[in-house]
Chain A
Amino acid sequence: MDEDDVRALARAAALPLDDDRIAALAALLGGWLPAANELSRAMSAREHRDVLPVTVFGQPPTDPTE
């Protein structure tokens, strides 16, 4: 993750960033995004194919007699 990568991502997100923000973000994301990619790789494994994200609505069991 370098400063050009940060500029490109910020453009894609329509997030205006002054130059003085770019270096700090590159340093931070340089640690975070490789770890996120590693987690994504692990969660793409065959044994996790059926795992749902927690964002899916959970429907509690309902009692039809109620």
Chain B
Amino acid sequence: MPDDKLLELSLSEAARCVTDGEISPVELTDACLARIDAVDGTLCAYIDVYADAARQVAQAAETMIRAGHRLGPLHGIPLALKDNIGLAGLVTTAGSKVLADWRPTEDATVAQRLKGAGAIILGKTNMHEFAWGGTSANPHYGSVRNPWNPERFPAGSSGGSGAAVAARTCFGALGTDTGGSIRLPSAVNGIVGIRPTIGRVSNAGVVPLAWSMDTVGPMTRTVEDCALMLSVLAGYDRRDAGSADVVVQDYLADLRRGVDGLRIGVIPDYFFSHLQAPVYAAVTAALDTFTKLGARVMDVDVEGIHGNISAQLTIESCEPSTYHQRWLRERPQDYGDDVRLLLEAGELHLATHYLQAQRYRSRLRASFLDAFRTVDVFVCPTLPFTATKVGETLVEIVEGAPEDMLAAIMQFTGVPSLTGLPSLAVQCGFDGEGLPIGMQLIGRPFDEATLFRVGAAFQSATDFHVRAPDLPCTLAPPSTTWPSR
């Protein structure tokens, strides 16, 4: 099969083909590495690529398949990890100069689980420095660019993972999400990504941003792929004190069940009142699609939802500043300007600000749990605008009224982050310039299966997820010249 056809396979299709012996893990890996060579000079999506190691693992995976052995559902599938996820003996920078030489002594639990299921780790993806920002404009490793238009940003902080998946350089990637860092790049790059319920996936071995909100999750092109990856990642981990000992659902079982009779809640007063017009049109069209599929869409009022942005900014300031306290005093010059400013700002809040914000989270969560008595899932935009130009720090949602990027970009994704609820980002349209638009599905605690069911129903009725960016290829140095770490 030619490389371009191989790379158009979904993760699930590729996994089935590997299992059936129709394609080899070596073919898949070589196709991904060639694609990285062709496009990453433009995208800057990877910080490191393990070409030789990936080929060796692929060869071993092929030998195993020929002998009738399959490690798990990801056997022979090339994936990428955000560079704040530790791999034993390999530099894990978290997109920073501060950790430019840090080599963890063991794999993060999520990396162990992916490898245990047979995945091939291609490399580490670029990101916003220490995950503290939403643009992936990285002063140390270069600004990540959007495959749909390289002059536009990929959002963040997992911008490298989003761009890498959308550009078909890998079949899936891991991101991390504190205030929206999986869902924002998923929306802006036209892919799928889930922020699982807090505690559903282990954070052990992952460089933290804000302990009380951090989560790891998969980013893929289809909902089925996302469900497959989460089924490997989810589950209790004694290495992570925040891990939840809750039974893991079968995420694949209900993918084709449809949404007939499902109750979908919308909160017009908050999520639909301050949007760019194409985003509003795409998400309301998605709601129409759900209605045609048999779901019941109803307006819901969630008490106290206004005020969440301040709570996010306070918590996302104070917790990172606590983690970085020593480095900020000993080597402040090693941080990029934007992250240094945010870390300094986090030191200057009062303890009462932080604790009132944490109390607000309890209140908002209770309001959502009340609302889930009448609806099964909420649908809203992932963010209120489409991709801005690389390097922008302001965004115009309403023409002529520029807003601060950070507060604007996480005003919708922050709601699940604060409440700990699971949230799935699914592509749902394009604006007039061909830039992707995403919607966000929010579910009950530990009910990721319903989100996948709803997302899969939408993808079965639409074709946004099969469209590919027409990315101009600029030949980068061959992968063998990537810095050996």
Contact = CB atoms under 8 A, between A and B. Distances in A.
A51 B344 contact: no
A35 B212 contact: no
B347 A10 contact: yes
B312 to A, nearest CB: 10
A36 B363 contact: no
B244 to A, nearest CB: 8
Given A36-B314, A42-B307, A29 B356 contact: no
Contact of B360 (A10, A17, A29, A43): A43
A17 B348 CA distance: 12
Contacts of B357: 36, 39
Most buried by A among B212, B329, B356, B420: B356
Contacts of B317: 32
A24 B360 CA distance: 28
Contacts of B363: 43, 48, 51
Interface in B332-358: 341, 344-345, 347-350, 352-353, 355-358
A39 B364 CA distance: 12
A54 B227 CA distance: 28
Given A16-B329, A40-B353, A52 B359 contact: yes
A17 B361 CA distance: 32
A38 interface: yes
Given A15-B348, A28-B345, 20 more contacts: A21-B341, A24-B341, A28-B341, A31-B404, A33-B349, A35-B310, A36-B349, A36-B353, A36-B356, A37-B353, A39-B307, A39-B310, A39-B314, A39-B357, A43-B360, A53-B355, A53-B362, A54-B358, A55-B212, A55-B355
B359 A9 contact: no
Contacts of B81: none
Contact of B348 (A13, A35, A39, A60): A13
Contacts of B349: 32-33, 36
Nearest to A60: B245
27 contacts: A6-B348, A9-B348, A13-B347, A15-B328, A15-B329, A15-B348, A21-B344, A25-B341, A25-B345, A28-B341, A33-B353, A36-B314, A38-B307, A38-B310, A39-B310, A39-B314, A39-B356, A39-B357, A42-B307, A43-B359, A43-B363, A44-B356, A48-B359, A48-B363, A54-B358, A55-B355, A55-B358
B361 A54 contact: yes
Interface bracket on B: 20 to 34
Nearest to A9: B348
B345 A29 contact: yes
B310 A36 contact: yes
Contacts of A52: 359, 362
B310 A29 contact: no
B328 to A, nearest CB: 7
Interface of B: 212, 245, 307, 309-311, 313-314, 317, 328-329, 341, 344-345, 347-350, 352-353, 355-363, 365, 404, 420
B311 A40 contact: no
A-B CB proximity, top 9 nearest: A53-B358, A35-B310, A9-B348, A40-B356, A36-B353, A43-B356, A13-B347, A39-B310, A54-B361
A52 B363 CA distance: 9
Contacts of A53: 355, 358-359, 361-362
A9 B404 CA distance: 24
A16 B310 CA distance: 26
B313 A32 contact: yes
Contacts of B352: 40
Residue picked from B329, B355, B365, most chain A C-beta under 10 Å:
B355
Given A16-B329, A32-B314, A52-B362, A10 B348 contact: yes
B105 to A, nearest CB: 29
A60 B243 CA distance: 12
A38 to B, nearest CB: 7
Residue with the highest number of chain B CB atoms closer than 10 Å, among A31, A32, A33, A60: A32
A3 to B, nearest CB: 12
Nearest to B418: A54
Contacts of A39: 307, 310-311, 314, 353, 356-357, 360
Nearest to B314: A36
B129 to A, nearest CB: 17
A9 B317 CA distance: 15
A26 to B, nearest CB: 10
A21 B338 CA distance: 11
A15 B355 CA distance: 21
Contacts of A16: 329
A25 B362 contact: no
B349 to A, nearest CB: 7
